[in-house]
Amino acid sequence: MNPEGKELRLAMLGMIEGNGHPYSWSAIINGFNPEAMAQCPYPAILSYLGKQRVEDVRVPGARVTHLWTDDAADAPKVAAASLIAHTVAKPEDVIGQVDAVIISTDDGDDHIRRVRPFIEAGLPVFVDKPMATNIADLRQFVQWHEAGSTILSTSGMRYAPEMRLNTEQQELVGDMRWITSFTCKTWERYGIHALEAVEPLLGPGFLTVQAHSDAGGDVMHLTHRCGVRVTIGALHDAYGSFGAVHLYGTKGQLPLRLTDTYSAFRGQLVAFIDMLRTGARPLPFEETVELMAVIIAGRRSREQNGAAIHISDILSETHS
What are the tens digits of pLDDT across the range 27-77? Answer: 999 999 999 999 999 999 999 999 999 999 999 999 999 999 999 999 999
Buried/exposed code over 196-221 (b: 16+ C-beta within 10 A; e: otherwise): bbbbbbbebebebbbbebeeebbbbb
What are the tens digits of pLDDT across the range 104-123? Answer: 999 999 999 999 999 999 99
What are the tens digits of pLDDT across the range 216-272? Answer: 999 999 999 999 999 999 999 999 999 999 999 999 999 999 999 999 999 999 999
What residue type is 105 in one-letter code? Answer: T
pTM metric for this prediction: 0.96
Buried/exposed code over 25-60 (b: 16+ C-beta within 10 A; e: otherwise): bbbbbbbbeeebbeebeeeebbebbeebeeeebbbe
Q: What pLDDT, on the 0 to 100 scale, is given for residue 3?
A: 53
Tell whether the torsion through CA atoms of 110, 83, 75 and 21 is positive or negative: positive
Residue 276 clears pLDDT 70, i.e. is over it: yes
Give dist(CA 297, CA 307) in Å, integer: 10
Q: What pLDDT, on the 0 to 100 scale, is given for residue 133?
A: 98
HEC readout, 300-311: HHHHCCCCCEEH
* Peptide linkage before 34 cis (omega within 30 of 0): no
What are the tens digits of pLDDT across the range 278-306? Answer: 999 999 999 999 999 999 999 999 999 99
Number of residues that this document lists for the chain: 320
Local confidence band at 167 (pLDDT 50, 70, 90 cut-offs): very high
Radius of gyration for the alpha carbons in the chain, expressed in angstroms and rounded = 19
Share of the chain above pLDDT 70, in %: 98
Domains of the chain: 8-156+263-283 (3.40.50.720), 161-258+292-318 (3.30.360.10)
